[in-house]
Amino acid sequence: MATVTTKPMTATEFYDFVHRPENSDRVFELERGEIVELTRSGKRHGFVCANTTRVLVNFAQLRRKSYVCSNNVGMIVERDPDTVRGPDVMLFEDVASIDDLETKYGERPPRLAVEVVSPNDSPGKLNRKIREQIGFGVLLVWVVDSEMRCVTVYRPGQGRSIEQYTLEDTEELTGEDVLPDFRCQVADFFAFPGQ
């Protein structure tokens, strides 16, 4: 009996696939050449993503040298086979104008990637995403957890290790040496208007 193997999909093929009309209401990632369909995360997740984006956009506008992308913009974190991930929010410093932005998936790492924990995220899946992002060259990854009201900060350590620490909503989050002029209260990510 012959074994049929399929060739892993490339990031370019994946981009074309997700933009087919029949996939317009679906969400996917590419994991080592295999398509993975994701579920929609829900209203709380969207609210925390919007707050996080607002905080970072305000920072970028004051700074006048960064820009922010949100809504699971694709980022190629591995090649051969290709992996395309969509962090919830990313902050870049790689181009100076909208005309210089890639129209497809990013191939340069952001300085900061933010993952907002959703009900579908398992610890193993989050760990894999963090390792991929740091391996790709992301200098700082924040995992924002609305249920626990905390942010866990990840950054490259010595060799292949990853350093991490967690801040509660009563504490201040900084951009460390990656974004040295950034600071906010962790609670800002969960703040509801008028409260």
**Nearest alpha-carbon partner for 187 in 173, 175, 174:** 173
For residues 112 and 179, the answer to whether their CB atoms sit within 8 Å is yes
- Return the SS3 of 169: coil
Computed from CA positions of residues 26, 32, 34, 39, in that sequence, does the dihedral angle turn out positive or negative?
negative
Q: How far apart are CA 193 and CA 65, in angstroms?
A: 28
Tell me the two tokens of residue 94: 């790689």
**What is 41-189's CATH number?**
3.90.1570.10
pLDDT value for 12:
94
User: Do residues 151 and 143 touch, judged by C-beta distance below 8 A?
Assistant: yes
Mean pLDDT for each consecutive 10-residue tract of the chain (195 residues)?
68 94 91 90 91 96 90 89 94 89 89 92 89 94 96 93 96 96 96 82
d(CA 117, CA 181): 26
Whats the size of the chain, residue-wise? Answer: 195
Closest alpha carbon to 150 in 124, 187, 110: 187
DSSP 84-128: EE--SEEEE-S-SSGGGS-SS-B-S--SEEEEE--TT--HHHHHH
- DSSP element (H, E) containing 53: helix 43-63
Query: Domain coordinates of the chain in residue numbers?
Result: 41-189
**Position 173: which residue type?**
L
